[in-house]
Structure 1
Amino acid sequence: MDRRRRLWLAAGLAVLLAVVVVLAAIVAGSGPSPSSNPASASAGSKSSTPTHTPPPAAAPAPPTIPELPASDMNILVIGSDSRGNAKEQNNQTVTSGQPKDQRSDCLMLIHVPADRKKIYGISIMRDNWVNIPGFGASKVNAALGLGGIPLVVKTVESLLGTHVDHTVMLDFNGFKTLTDGLGGIDVNVTLPFTASFETHHVFVAGVNHLDGQAALEFVRERYSFVDGDFQRVRNQQTFLRALLVKLSGALQTPAGVLSLVNFAVNDLIVDQGFDPASVAMLAYALRTVDPGASVFFTLPTAGTGTSPDGQSIVVPDYAGIGQVAAALRDGTLPQYAAAHGY
Structure 2
Amino acid sequence: MTHPFDSPDDDRGADFRERRRPVKKRRGRKVLIAVGVVLALVAVVAGGYLFNLARTFDSGSSKIEQAFPDESTRPKKTDTSMNILVMGSDSRGAAASDNAGATPTDQRADTLMLMHIPADRKNIYTMSIMRDLWVDIPGHGEAKINSALALGGTPLMVQTVESIFQQRVDHVAMIDFEGFKGLTDALGGVTVNLNLPFTSNDLKGQSFAPGQHTFNGTEALAFVRERHAYADGDYQRVRNQQEFLRAIIKKSTAGQTLSNPITINNMVGAVSPFVTVDKSFDSGAVAGLGLELTDIRAQNTVMFTLPTGGVGTSTDGQSIVLADPNAINDISGAMASGTLGEYVAANEFENGN
TM-score (norm 1): 0.72
CA displacement at 1:124 relative to structure 2: 0.8
- The AA in structure 2 aligned to 1:12 is V
Aligned equivalent of 1:115, options 117, 120, 133? 120
SS in 2 for 1:158: helix
Q: How far apart are the structure 2 equivalents of 1:120 and 1:26?
A: 23
CA displacement at 1:160 relative to structure 2: 2.0
* Aligned position for 1:67: none
CA displacement at 1:328 relative to structure 2: 1.0
Q: How far apart are the structure 1 equivalents of 2:339 and 2:151?
A: 33
CA displacement at 1:296 relative to structure 2: 0.7
Residue by residue over 1:63-83, the C-alpha shift from the partner in whole angstroms, topping out at 9 and shown as x without a partner, is xxxxxxx94211111123557
CA displacement at 1:236 relative to structure 2: 3.7
* Aligned position for 1:76: 85
Alpha-carbon RMSD: 3.4
* Aligned position for 1:287: 294
* Aligned position for 2:282: 275
* Aligned position for 1:297: 304
Tell me, yes or no, if the aligned pair for 2:182 and 2:267 is still in contact at 8 Å: no
- The AA in structure 2 aligned to 1:312 is S
Aligned equivalent of 1:258, options 265, 277, 299? 265
Residue by residue over 1:165-191, the C-alpha shift from the partner in whole angstroms, topping out at 9 and shown as x without a partner, is 1111222222211122212223455x5
Q: How far apart are the structure 2 equivalents of 1:253 and 1:112?
A: 26
* Aligned position for 1:329: 336
Taking the TM superposition and a 5 Å limit, the aligned residue runs for 1:22-171 are 24-25=51-52, 71-82=80-91, 84-91=94-101, 94=102, 97=103, 99-171=104-176
* Aligned position for 1:59: none
Tell me, yes or no, if the aligned pair for 2:227 and 2:236 is still in contact at 8 Å: yes
CA displacement at 1:142 relative to structure 2: 1.1
Tell me, yes or no, if the aligned pair for 2:51 and 2:283 is still in contact at 8 Å: yes
Tell me if 1:10 matches 2:33. yes
Q: 1:164 to 1:26 in 2, by over 3 A?
A: closer
Q: How far apart are the structure 1 equivalents of 2:168 and 2:160?
A: 11
Gap regions ≥5 residues in structure 2: 1-30, 56-78
Q: How far apart are the structure 1 equivalents of 2:348 and 2:199?
A: 29
Q: 1:210 to 1:225 in 2, by over 3 A?
A: same
TM-score (norm 2): 0.70
Aligned equivalent of 1:197, options 195, 198, 201? 201
CA displacement at 1:263 relative to structure 2: 3.5
Q: How far apart are the structure 2 equivalents of 1:274 and 1:337?
A: 28
Q: How far apart are the structure 1 equivalents of 2:36 and 2:294?
A: 14
Decide which moves more: 143-152 or 257-266.
Answer: 257-266
Q: How far apart are the structure 1 equivalents of 2:284 and 2:81?
A: 17
Q: How far apart are the structure 1 equivalents of 2:346 and 2:163?
A: 25
Q: 1:118 to 1:265 in 2, by over 3 A?
A: same
Q: 1:232 to 1:130 in 2, by over 3 A?
A: farther
Q: How far apart are the structure 2 equivalents of 1:225 and 1:319?
A: 35
Q: 1:260 to 1:222 in 2, by over 3 A?
A: closer
Larger radius of gyration: 1
Q: 1:136 to 1:81 in 2, by over 3 A?
A: farther
Tell me, yes or no, if the aligned pair for 2:149 and 2:156 is still in contact at 8 Å: yes
Q: 1:272 to 1:78 in 2, by over 3 A?
A: same
CA displacement at 1:145 relative to structure 2: 1.6
Q: How far apart are the structure 2 equivalents of 1:203 and 1:304?
A: 34
Q: How far apart are the structure 2 equivalents of 1:323 and 1:197?
A: 42
CA displacement at 1:221 relative to structure 2: 4.3
Aligned equivalent of 2:190, options 185, 191, 199? 185
- The AA in structure 2 aligned to 1:154 is Q
- The AA in structure 2 aligned to 1:168 is A
Q: How far apart are the structure 1 equivalents of 2:347 and 2:158?
A: 26
Gap regions ≥5 residues in structure 1: 1-7, 29-69
Q: How far apart are the structure 2 equivalents of 1:115 and 1:80?
A: 31
Decide which moves more: 180-189 or 17-26.
Answer: 17-26
SS in 1 for 2:100: helix
- The AA in structure 2 aligned to 1:140 is I
* Higher RCO (CA 8 Å, separation ≥ 6 residues): 2
CA displacement at 1:256 relative to structure 2: 5.4
- The AA in structure 2 aligned to 1:78 is M
Q: How far apart are the structure 1 equivalents of 2:223 and 2:124?
A: 23
What is the number of residues matched between the two proteins? 289
Taking the TM superposition and a 5 Å limit, the aligned residue runs for 1:205-224 are 207-222=212-227
* Aligned position for 2:9: none
CA displacement at 1:19 relative to structure 2: 6.9
SS in 1 for 2:321: strand
